[in-house]
Amino acid sequence: MRKRSIVAGVAAVVVVACLGGLAYAWQPAIDPVKGDDAGGRGSAARLETDPAVLAAGLRVMSQGDCLYCHTAKGGKPYAGGLPMDTPFGTIHSTNITPDVDTGIGAWSLDAFTRAMREGVSRDGHLLYPAFPYVHFTRMHDEDIAAAYQYLMSRTPVDAPPVPNALVFPLNFRPLVAGWNLLFLDKGPLPDAPAGASASASASASVSASSSASPGASSSASSSASSEWRLGRYLVEGAGHCQSCHTPMNIVGAEARGKAFEGGVIDGWQAPPLNALAAGERPWTKAQLVSYLRTGVASEHGAASGPMRPVTQHLAEAPESDVAAMATYLLSLSGPANDVSPAGRQGNDPAPVSNPAPVRNPAPVSDPTLVSDPTLVSDPVLVNAAQLRAASGPEQERVSRGAVLFASTCAGCHGTAAPMMTIGGRPSLADSSNVLAGTPRNALRMILEGNPWQGSTSAHYMPSYADLLTDDQIVDVAAYLRVQVAVRPAWADAASMLTTMRKENEKK
């Protein structure tokens, strides 16, 4: 009898939990906005025309890289339709233009805010967490309102949603309610600047402090703390950096206790952000700001894959915002770089960066360019004859890669190449992709390159997916890793490349 009572009690708890979950899964619809133009294609919401408000909205949209995810390749801005591959299937981004029928034109600010904070659409259905509302919920009302007004000022586009292709039962949206109960922490980030206008004030105070007298240590300390708070707000809120730079757990949520430890997104490795100011080749604040705003840091490499559009949109944000983000990210490396209120000692702010070590690679020669290898000295090109003298399959691979590099890549990446004089192009000896512990990004870069965008100021590299065989790509990667970066060979490059080719075939 006692056992039956226990079983019945457990069953009752399960039933109540399921009913509670279903109740949480169904949210009420918010009435559509009504206005004189509600029957047309444009927004029925009242438009804000104040340039300052629209500028604040653009600032938020730039911080969040919203345009990239909500614009399909070759599509209209913000009209959605971009496919996003996940371990559970493909999700397509939605139309967030002010079109009444297919976009958010009938959404009130309350409906928009609920979507940003709780992941619930205007009509009450739950949004998939591919939309990073777990981070947007940390934003203040002023910034959410500014983003809303900016979107409502865009050109409406008639773009019906593209159906998702998720595996069963994950295509049943009410299940997201359980996910939210476990992983959604609603509400603005505590102790953060109160909205876009306050963020601007915080940025201004930080800029002003940089020209203060040397004796104003208290003011400098306060401004460093303000910059750190602003940086945390932007990184963990609108910027949602953890979404890509944190490993995912089995249900697609950010793994607890592993924030900023790196992840994989669209087949690219998103590197850890919690050791930028530490290690053998630390980033400085100036380098990180340059990278985030231009996509290039000559001491570390160039942005590629899904990080490239992030840098392009951060270029539209105030430099003070990006500087604050850099300050916060560098503080994640440990106490020596921590300028947060808890990390500071006394009145003096801790340094936020360390000088990068100077690398002086020994000059080597390229026998494929001249008959006498001793006549040519180049830290990127290598003496293939010397490599051939070495033994072992890996050394043979490196030797073949050296010849391929000289004939295929050195025209742009050789030290004396004209391309190296444009826009602070980084040496491959300093490339984060080549120095990484995994060959993923180096192989992706050779396969996909960086698409041409019509300007010599934007770094470009052609795709070699159809020009080189798999063996040739692995050979070049081995040469870059072993001889140029002077690092141990990647053991899994060939198998990883095979997997990448299969992934590309599915796209």
Give residue-wise pLDDT tens across range 403-430: 998 888 877 887 776 666 665 677 888 8
Residues making up the annotated binding site for heme c are: 66, 69-70, 241, 244-245, 409, 412-413
Q: Which residue has the tokens 């001491």?
A: 299
Helix pair angle (2-25, 176-183), 10° resolution: 100
Count CA atoms within 13 Å of residue 407 on its CB side. 11
d(CA 97, CA 308): 24
d(CA 21, CA 428): 52
DSSP state of 253: S
Closest CA to 443 of 490, 394, 485, 376: 490
Helix pair angle (285-294, 307-314), 10° resolution: 100
Query: If you average pLDDT over each of 110-124, 194-208, 389-403, which comes out highest?
Result: 110-124
Tokens matching residue 422: 């444009």
d(CA 440, CA 137): 32
Tell me the pLDDT of the chain averaged across its residues.
78
Domain boundaries, the chain: 31-183, 226-332, 393-505
Q: Which CATH superfamily is domain 393-505 in?
A: Cytochrome c-like domain (1.10.760.10)
Non-local CB neighbours of 132 within 8 Å, separated by 6+ positions: 240, 243
Tokens matching residue 320: 């003070």
- What is the pLDDT at residue 141? 94
Position 40 pLDDT exceeds 70: no
Q: How many residues does the chain have?
A: 507
The CATH number that domain 226-332 falls under is: 1.10.760
Strands 301-302 and 296-297 turn out to be antiparallel
| Mean pLDDT score, 397-403 | 90
- 3-class secondary-structure state, position 457: coil
- 3-class secondary-structure state, position 472: helix
Q: DSSP per residue over 100-133, as a string?
A: TTTSSTT--HHHHHHHHHH-B-TTSPBPPTTS-H
Position 58 pLDDT exceeds 70: yes
Closest CA to 80 of 177, 156, 152: 156
Query: If you average pLDDT over each of 45-54, 131-140, 359-368, which comes out highest?
Result: 131-140
Q: DSSP per residue over 355-370, as a string?
A: PPPP--PPPB--TTTS
Tokens matching residue 257: 């206790």
Cβ density class 388-398: b for 16+ within 10 Å, e for less: beeeeebbebb
Closest CA to 127 of 190, 191, 80, 194: 80
Position 475 pLDDT exceeds 90: yes
Q: pLDDT grade, residue 199 (50/70/90)?
A: low
Alpha helices in 95-253 (DSSP H): 109-118, 133-136, 141-152, 176-183, 195-209, 217-236, 242-245
Position 292 pLDDT exceeds 80: yes
- What is the pLDDT at residue 445? 92
pLDDT in tens, 300-353: 888 888 999 999 899 989 999 999 999 999 999 865 455 554 554 333 333 333
- 3-class secondary-structure state, position 270: strand
Position 478 pLDDT exceeds 90: yes
pLDDT in tens, 22-32: 656 678 888 88
- What is the pLDDT at residue 171? 79
- What is the pLDDT at residue 285? 96
226-332 and 393-505 in the same fold: yes
Residues making up the annotated binding site are: 66, 69-70, 241, 244-245, 409, 412-413
Helix pair angle (141-152, 51-64), 10° resolution: 100
| Mean pLDDT score, 65-79 | 94
Which range (48-52, 61-65, 227-231, 478-482) has the least confidence? Answer: 48-52
- Write a three-state SS string for 474-491: HHHHHHHHHHHCCCCCCC
| Mean pLDDT score, 365-382 | 37
